[in-house]
Structure 1
Amino acid sequence: MRPIPPPAAAQSRLEHDLLGDREVPAEAYYGVHTLRALENFHISGVPIAIYPELIRALAQIKLAAARTNHLLGLLDEPRCRAIVAACEEVMEGRWHEHFVVDVIQGGAGTSTNMNANEVIANRALELMGHSRGQYAHLHPNEHVNMSQSTNDVYPTALRLATHAGITSLVQALGYLRQSFERKAEEFADVLKMGRTQLQDAVPMTLGQEFSTYAVMLGEDEARLQEAAALLCEINLGATAIGTGINAHPDYAAGVCRELARVSKVPVVTAPNLIEATQDCGGFVQLSGVLKRVAVKLSKVCNDLRLLSSGPRAGLGEINLPARQAGSSIMPGKVNPVIPEVVNQVAFEVIGNDMTVTFAAEAGQLQLNAFEPIIAHSLFKSVLHLRRAAYTLADLCVDGITANPERLRHSVEQSIGIVTALNPYIGYAAATEVAALAHRSGRGVKDIVLEMGLMSEQQLAEVLRPEVLTAPQRWPVKVTRP
């Protein structure tokens, strides 16, 4: 007689919500609310799990809420312990694959909040010795979401996640800034022509040019840190619209203290929770700073592409490291692919800022329903800028070399050096020299000597690199020899 095989493991479990009963995959930690969100939002195809900082922030909030509710006598010890343990696992990076709702969703982030509630509840149930879906023992809404609403959880999680992202972005910009600082030191004595409006201006050093890129990045590091400080004001405890309904009077202060301890972010409770629940000003400000970073970074990449243009028919002042073949038809062609990809990141960030602007403006009355697209836009901008900064530093800036002979020849042949002679021969005479040099194609130095405006020795003194590239005491005009 053939043995009777054991019954097959259940492929699904039955869960119930406002709309009725649904079969949920048995292996899923999420539940019926998340399942409906999966069916409703086929937009980006990108799950919220792509942003681990957001998932960790949600777990930190749920953990802080559980501990605070327990201290206030609202949540018993066994449930609190199980919720905290489940949250700690999520914070360590476990179960992120069960955070499956689309990053772009209706409902002001409710699907994201419920996804977190269900994953944490079902994992907590397992830790208590129960099966997933046995919510009579521990419920996603009743216990994991106790004293909370999506309307205070979601924006607080967004603030924590972007705060973490900004910290990483500042580090990346600092890394790139140091690359430019090293190049500025390396090129400190390399003389070149500066340009305004793509026309010859006055001499400078390549080191001075690269040092400006470092300074620009340093300024943006400071602006990002200022924006991060604004994100530390949270509305946790506001519940639905800021009145704190269904929360203990001491909950807001207590959960803020606990969240600061868990997250290591110095969060504070907003002075007016109704205002804080509907206002997206901090996100708009951060997005504006990210746009500022993108614009300046793109300008730097424009310069690198222009300075390296050629190699023979362009400026050819610097050489970018060759990273790949540049053409399927032109042998030997190498393109500035690293600055080009950073330019494209900048274009994306600028567009994301417009999205954040419209989404923040579209808020109505006591809530902004469009925070999911704000979150998605900010997270993309922070992540892509961070990766772009490291890419630019490692694959481009660190390998840049100069062409000093070509640079010096450009200075010697440039009409722009006549500006340095203004204090000695006067503007009118300098203009005459410049016009003659331009018409004849000859060098400024030769024409000045021919016109008898200065001696060879005087020119040599005035045209020294250290004189050309830094302020000097105003000289007495040279009399014609």
Structure 2
Amino acid sequence: MPIFGQETRKETDLLGEKEIPAEAYYGVQSVRALENFQISGLRTNHYPEFVKAWAMVKWAAASANRDAGIMPPDIYKPIEAACKAVIEGEYMDQFVVDLYQGGAGTSTNMNANEVLANIALEKAGHNKGDYSKIAPNDQLNMSQSTNDTYPTALKLGMLLSNDQLKSELKLLAKSFRTIGNTYLEIVKMGRTELQDAVPMTVGQEFHAYGAALEWEIANIERAQEALYVINMGATAIGTALNTPEGYAENCTNHLSSISGYEFSVANDLIAATWNLQSFVIYSSALKTLATTLSKISNDLIILSSGPRNGLFEINLPPRQPGSSIMPGKVNPVMPELMALVSYRVIGNDVTVSMAASDGDLQLNAYEPVVGISIFESQKILTNTMRAFREFCVDGITINEDTHRRNLETTIGIVTALNPVIGYKKSSELAKEARLSGKGILELIREQKLLTEAEIEKLLAPANMTGLDKSIYPKNKE
């Protein structure tokens, strides 16, 4: 029977018969999931790295089954070819299940099993749906369960996406380092609690942003280690039911070879099947990155505020008109974007923590929302860091006149005078400056406390800021 004019084939499962579009590589269980879970509109193929991870996992499992002698070569070969095709980006439109689903990821696993089985059938010269030759459950799911393949595919998909995220993060840190090198000797006022504090240089301020992001890179690299421990071979609850001897280690080794990541078998497969600690650790690293990015973004908004009645120490590249009613207004849209995306990532981390804490007994059925949250965080952080760098950070310039005027008028510079004229006299100058509205340097000149040569020496960046150029090498990565 046609579906809206389409040719169909019939497939049967535990609950009965279903019409499947004849051209579809997915099957009956995918169709049931499509009916049951029309939730977000976000399908598995929204994250291509996740789809590719599934193909790698299924290829590794098939390889281990072949090695164990329970999958014949004539079955293995077309499955291997099917997996390779998906890894290369083919058939993406067939991974159609909504990411939001009940069943601990079973629908996503069966979608992968059905698609890969039907691709393999065609490559072997058979018709789609001819499961007597190659079946989603018997061959593609051999020695497996959703409960070991799903978390493994999640981890591998996250590692693939993590590479892209780290690449963008490194470029962003480098951009801040470049600005730091450019303005290393431009003196400005540092602030604590938004009040004038002591002098520093613009370069020091921006190098600090780069250093903070480099710390985040190191933190993410530590956290990703948790994703290398997998539970392939655990099957349903960690008892390795229906697996041949040595399968867990063999499958894990194959997955390492296929993916290029050094996976290891968890030392307790039962614990590894219900415990989502690794996802919590990695999500936490994304959260800490988000907090740092938000802080830096809001600093840039403050530093660029004005232009006439704010700090106006830096200029952000103008990206678009800022108001429908106020002519000439340009808003700091890119740092605002970076901050609001960071808030979303922090919220996703809360979701991961809650889901990890609420699994029941030998399985955590809430793994799908853990995957959704982390994949979304990775994607929006990666894309936003790229836009933030290209459309904002790389175009930042400074207003040297503003910095010069601030140094001339600030009371905060008095702290640097302590070693020269003493704390008592410095306090008197600070008090007089507050009462008179005059700047510290103006009072020093009036009272002839220092010569112009002494003032110039005092204001030299190395003396004013403790600048140590050795920790700010040019073109620091």
TM-score of Structure 1 vs Structure 2, range by shorter chain: over 0.9
Partner SS for 2:262:
coil
Q: Which residue number corresponds to residue 478 of structure 1?
A: none
Q: How does 1:304-383 map to 2 (within 5 A)?
A: 304-383=300-379
Q: Which residue number corresponds to residue 90 of structure 1?
A: 86
Cα drift, residue 111 of structure 1? 0.4
Q: Which residue number corresponds to residue 479 of structure 1?
A: none
| Pairing 1:107–2:103 present | yes
Partner SS for 1:204:
strand
| Pairing 1:75–2:107 present | no
Equivalent pair of 2:177/2:210 in contact (CA under 8 Å): yes
Q: Which residue number corresponds to residue 209 of structure 2?
A: 213
Partner SS for 2:19:
strand
Matches of 2:311 and 2:266, distance apart in 1: 54
Matches of 2:343 and 2:442, distance apart in 1: 47
Equivalent pair of 1:166/1:225 in contact (CA under 8 Å): no
| Pairing 1:300–2:299 present | no
Q: Which residue number corresponds to residue 432 of structure 2?
A: 436
User: What amino acid is the match of 2:135?
Assistant: H
Matches of 1:71 and 1:461, distance apart in 2: 76
Partner SS for 2:241:
coil
Cα drift, residue 390 of structure 1? 1.0
Cα drift, residue 463 of structure 1? 2.9
Matches of 1:67 and 1:119, distance apart in 2: 18
User: What amino acid is the match of 1:138?
Assistant: I
Matches of 1:146 and 1:217, distance apart in 2: 44
Q: Which has the larger radius of gyration?
A: 1
Matches of 2:449 and 2:274, distance apart in 1: 71
Count of matched residue pairs:
465
Cα drift, residue 455 of structure 1? 4.5
Partner SS for 1:138:
coil
Q: How does 1:21-40 map to 2 (within 5 A)?
A: 21-40=17-36
Q: Which residue number corresponds to residue 471 of structure 2?
A: none
Matches of 1:461 and 1:325, distance apart in 2: 44
Q: Deviations over 1:299-350 (max 9, x none)?
A: 1110111111111111111101111111112111111111111111101101
Matches of 1:380 and 1:125, distance apart in 2: 34
Cα drift, residue 272 of structure 1? 0.9
Q: Which residue number corresponds to residue 241 of structure 1?
A: 237
Partner SS for 1:367:
coil
Q: Deviations over 1:397-421 (max 9, x none)?
A: 1111111011111011100000001
Equivalent pair of 2:433/2:443 in contact (CA under 8 Å): yes
> Which residue of the other structure, out of 441, 444, 462, is the alignment partner of 1:445?
441
| Pairing 1:396–2:392 present | yes
Q: How does 1:233-272 map to 2 (within 5 A)?
A: 233-272=229-268
Q: Deviations over 1:52-75 (max 9, x none)?
A: 111111100111111111111101
Cα drift, residue 429 of structure 1? 2.2
Q: TM-score, normalised by structure 2?
A: 0.95
Q: Which residue number corresponds to residue 282 of structure 1?
A: 278
Q: Which residue number corresponds to residue 475 of structure 1?
A: none
Q: How does 1:457-468 map to 2 (within 5 A)?
A: 457-468=453-464
Runs (5+) with no aligned partner, structure 1: 1-8, 473-481
> Which residue of the other structure, out of 55, 59, 63, is the alignment partner of 1:63?
59
Equivalent pair of 2:143/2:243 in contact (CA under 8 Å): yes
Q: Deviations over 1:207-251 (max 9, x none)?
A: 111000100110111111111111111100100011100000211
Q: Deviations over 1:326-375 (max 9, x none)?
A: 11121111111111111111011011001001000011111110010000
Q: Which residue number corresponds to residue 229 of structure 1?
A: 225
Partner SS for 1:376:
helix
User: What amino acid is the match of 1:422?
Assistant: N
Equivalent pair of 2:176/2:207 in contact (CA under 8 Å): yes
Cα drift, residue 164 of structure 1? 1.2
Q: Which residue number corresponds to residue 185 of structure 1?
A: 181
Partner SS for 1:14:
strand
Runs (5+) with no aligned partner, structure 2: 469-477
Matches of 1:191 and 1:423, distance apart in 2: 19
Matches of 1:449 and 1:120, distance apart in 2: 82
Note the aligned Cα RMSD (angstroms): 1.5
Matches of 2:114 and 2:181, distance apart in 1: 55
Partner SS for 2:150:
helix
Partner SS for 1:231:
helix
Matches of 2:448 and 2:309, distance apart in 1: 36
Partner SS for 1:143:
coil
Matches of 1:213 and 1:136, distance apart in 2: 60
Matches of 1:455 and 1:401, distance apart in 2: 33
Matches of 1:368 and 1:277, distance apart in 2: 8
With 404-413 and 114-123 compared, the bigger mean Cα shift is at: 404-413
Q: Which residue number corresponds to residue 474 of structure 2?
A: none
Q: TM-score, normalised by structure 1?
A: 0.94
> Which residue of the other structure, out of 417, 420, 424, is the alignment partner of 1:421?
417
Equivalent pair of 1:353/1:377 in contact (CA under 8 Å): yes
Partner SS for 2:326:
coil
With 97-106 and 419-428 compared, the bigger mean Cα shift is at: 419-428
Cα drift, residue 448 of structure 1? 3.3
Matches of 1:458 and 1:171, distance apart in 2: 47
Equivalent pair of 2:49/2:161 in contact (CA under 8 Å): yes
Equivalent pair of 1:420/1:463 in contact (CA under 8 Å): no
Q: Deviations over 1:10-37 (max 9, x none)?
A: 7111111111111111111111111111
Cα drift, residue 460 of structure 1? 3.4
Show structure 1 runs of 4+ deviating over 3 A: 448-460
Equivalent pair of 2:186/2:461 in contact (CA under 8 Å): no
